[in-house]
Amino acid sequence: MTDAASKPFRFLDLPIEVRNAIYHVILCEPPPAKLRRVEQADLLWLPEGMAVITHPSEMQILQTSRQVHAEAKDVMLRGNQFIRIRARGVGQVVKGFLLARQIPIIRTSALSRNTFQGFVMTHSIELKGGRPEDFPGPKHETDVDLVILHRDLSLFCEALAIRGTLMVRGFGNLTKHDLTIHNPFDSTLSPGFMSEKNQERLLQPYRHYLRGFSHFSVDGNVSASLAESVKEAVAEEHLPEPGEIIAEFKRNKDLGNRYFRQKEFHRAAEAYTTGYIKVALIRNGNLWPQITAKGGQGFLHAISETYYQVCLNCAQNILVFLRETSESNRTKIRYYCGKADYHVKSAMAAGDNFTTDWRPNLQQMAKLSFRAASIERVLGNMEAAKSLIDIARQQAPSDPVIRREAEEIEALLRSQAGLGRLLL
């Protein structure tokens, strides 16, 4: 009994299941990335920097002994499944959606990325042909090389499919994607880990999220039939019915309007945003020419008008949110107003965006002028607000809401003029 009590504790005396659990906590559960987000009325995030994961200093456990090193390395590779993302010529787009969606990246150096033998996959992205003139970002800042975890690959693929297409019209056809599957487990305690089942699990996010990516390959340590099926899946596209596109867009608009009337501004923003993002994805997608050919001018006019209305509703939702919450932070107010102004400008360009001759009627133009005047009023630019609300009154002279806004702006201007005379 005394001998047992005096015997020093040895980590390797623990059962392997316990040791593996300890390795997993130390090596596969790093502190969460610091998400730099600021919530705002448009239900989008205002990120201030990338979400970065820094692995803890306990990594020294890998150097304890050969056996511990082998066990810990095996758990680390299985538990993290490191993926390298290399983008040439399209880095600005990739960095844009990594920032916007706050997808965690691993803090690494160029040397560590080039010498590390533990990646399960490398995803290389580049332009298929020449760089279009309107492609985002300066040419000298268009390469990225970074590492993410497999647990975040679904976020990455979703952002690649949605944000990539929102940022670049025809993104799926313009870019080339080469996936190379590696087998870092060959010399570990789990040499058979990269089975076809785990290859399928690794590639599932691409199969689930990507559509219309016609220049896509999968090679390396992967089943040939699986590689081909994933390639076929990401290239597929479904041609939607023009009428259903309009109907769904209007349903989102009506849902947003209902939430707006109930003063549920964030839910209203979510409904509006869902609608116009879906339409923007269709507009920027590969099938747009076929959809417009099938729908004709009637479809183009209907989608332009609904887009116009939704954009103005987005702006109004932000402005009323500001008024109802009595927001006093000037930085936030300027940001919110910038978003509202973006929606107003998007409404102005609705017809051109959908390449149609549709133009708003006078009543619709009055609502746009009214929104623009309200933005200037919130920002304190009263002369600009007065000019815009006067235009709105000319466009809709009998509208009581516009008339009331004009009276309030005139009263504020008179008040400012009175204060000015006192100062003189």
Scanning 7-144, the segments in alpha helix (DSSP H) are 16-28, 66-80, 91-101, 110-115
Least confident of 55-64, 182-191, 332-341: 55-64
Measuring CA to CA, how many Å separate 206 from each of 158, 169, 210, 211, 234?
Answer: 8, 20, 5, 9, 7
Mean pLDDT of 172-195: 95
Neighbours of 82 (CB within 10 A): 20
The more confidently predicted of residues 278 and 3 is: 278
CATH number for 242-423 (one of 3.90.1150.10, 3.40.225.10, 1.25.40.10, 3.40.50.720): it is: 1.25.40.10
Instruction: Map tokens 């689930």 to a residue.
Output: 208
Whether this prediction's pTM lies above 0.95 is answered by no
* pLDDT, tens only, 250-299: 999 999 999 999 999 989 999 999 999 999 999 999 999 999 999 999 99
Q: Residue 46 carries which side chain, given as an amino acid letter? A: L
Mean pLDDT of 406-415: 90
d(CA 306, CA 350): 9
Residue 145 three-state SS: strand
Q: Are 302 and 247 in contact (CB under 8 A)?
A: no
Residue 187 three-state SS: coil
Q: Would the pLDDT of 216 be above 50? A: yes
pLDDT mean across residues, the chain: 89
Residue 123 three-state SS: strand
Among the listed residues 346, 332, 414, the one whose alpha carbon sits nearest the alpha carbon of residue 379: 332
Proportion of the chain above pLDDT 90, given as a percent: 67
Question: pLDDT value at position 383?
Answer: 94
Least confident of 53-67, 357-371, 385-399: 53-67
Least confident of 54-63, 250-259, 396-405, 414-423: 414-423
Please provide the distance, in angstroms rounded to a whole number, between the alpha carbons at the two ends of the chain. 97
Give the domain ranges of the chain.
14-235, 242-423
Question: pLDDT value at position 54?
Answer: 79
d(CA 33, CA 51): 5
Region label for 326, one of left (φ > 0), alpha (ψ between -120 and 50) or beta (otherwise) = left
Q: How many residues does the chain have?
A: 424
Mean pLDDT of 62-76: 87
The DSSP result for 311-364, as a single string, is: HHHHHHHHHHHHHHHT---HHHHHHHHHHHHHHHHHHHTHHHHTTS-----HHH
User: What's the distance, CA 76 to chain centroid?
Assistant: 29
Mean pLDDT of 34-57: 60
* Confidence tier at 8 by pLDDT (50, 70, 90): confident
Question: pLDDT value at position 418?
Answer: 61
* pLDDT, tens only, 120-167: 999 999 998 777 766 776 666 678 999 999 999 999 999 999 989 988
Residue 160 three-state SS: helix
The more confidently predicted of residues 136 and 374 is: 374
Question: pLDDT value at position 322?
Answer: 84
